[in-house]
Amino acid sequence: MATPEGVAADDTRRQIMEATFRALSEHGYSDLRVRDIGAEFEKSRTLIHYHFDGKHDLIASFLEYVIEQYEEPEADDPADPWATLSARLDQCLFGPDVGDFDHWERMTVYHELFAHARHDERHRAVFTDHYEQLRGNLTAVIEAGIEEGAFRKVDAESLAQLLTDVIHAARARRISLGHEDAPDQAREAVDAFVLDTLEPEN
Amino acid sequence: MATPEGVAADDTRRQIMEATFRALSEHGYSDLRVRDIGAEFEKSRTLIHYHFDGKHDLIASFLEYVIEQYEEPEADDPADPWATLSARLDQCLFGPDVGDFDHWERMTVYHELFAHARHDERHRAVFTDHYEQLRGNLTAVIEAGIEEGAFRKVDAESLAQLLTDVIHAARARRISLGHEDAPDQAREAVDAFVLDTLEPEN
- With CB atoms and an 8 Å threshold, state whether B176 touches A119: no
- With CB atoms and an 8 Å threshold, state whether B193 touches A189: no
B100 pLDDT tier (thresholds 50, 70, 90):
very low
Whether B171 and B186 have beta carbons less than 8 Å apart is answered as no
Distances from the Cα of A26 to the Cα of A22, A39, A81, B30, angstroms = 6, 12, 41, 15
Question: In this predicted model, which residue has the larger pLDDT, A142 or A120?
Answer: A142
Residue B98: Cβ-neighbour burial (10 angstroms; 0-12, 13-18, 19+): exposed
Please state, for a pLDDT cut of 70, what percent of chain B lies above it. 89
pLDDT at residue A21 above 80?
Answer: yes
Question: In this predicted model, which residue has the larger pLDDT, A94 or B158?
Answer: B158
- Least confidently predicted of A167-171, B55-59, B138-142, B195-199: B55-59
pLDDT tens for A140-199 read: 999 999 999 999 999 999 999 999 999 999 999 999 999 999 999 999 999 999 999 999
B99 pLDDT tier (thresholds 50, 70, 90):
very low
Picking from B115, B131, B182, the nearest residue to A111 by CB comes out as: B115
Q: Which CATH code of 3.40.50.1110, 1.10.357.10, 1.10.287.1770, 3.20.20.390 fits the domain covering A74-198?
A: 1.10.357.10
Which DSSP string do the residues of B170-193 spell out, in sequence order? HHHHHHHH--TTHHHHHHHHHHHH
Q: Residue B78's pLDDT is what?
A: 66
**ipTM surpassing 0.95, yes or no?**
no
Among the listed residues A88, A86, A168, A172, the one whose alpha carbon sits nearest the alpha carbon of residue A130: A168
- CATH no., domain B73-198: 1.10.357.10
B8 pLDDT tier (thresholds 50, 70, 90):
confident
Whether A57 and A67 have beta carbons less than 8 Å apart is answered as no
pLDDT at residue A99 above 50?
Answer: no
**How far A48 CA sits from the closest chain B CA (Å)?**
25
pLDDT at residue B118 above 80?
Answer: yes
Which residue in chain B is spatially nearest to A170 when comparing CA positions?
A: B165
Written out in words, the top-level CATH class of the domain with range B4-67 is mainly alpha
Please state, for a pLDDT cut of 90, what percent of chain B lies above it. 61
Helix (H, G, I), strand (E, B) or coil at B121: helix
Where in chain A are the domains?
4-67, 74-198
Which residue in chain A is spatially nearest to B188 when comparing CA positions?
A: A158
Mean pLDDT for all residues in chain B? 88
A95 pLDDT tier (thresholds 50, 70, 90):
confident
Which residue in chain B is spatially nearest to A31 when comparing CA positions?
A: B30
Contacts B29 to A, Cβ<8 Å: 30
Q: Residue A11's pLDDT is what?
A: 87
State the best of B29, B118, B154 to mutate against chain A, taking most chain A CBs within 10 Å.
B118
- With CB atoms and an 8 Å threshold, state whether A185 touches B108: no
In eight-state DSSP terms, residue A73 is P
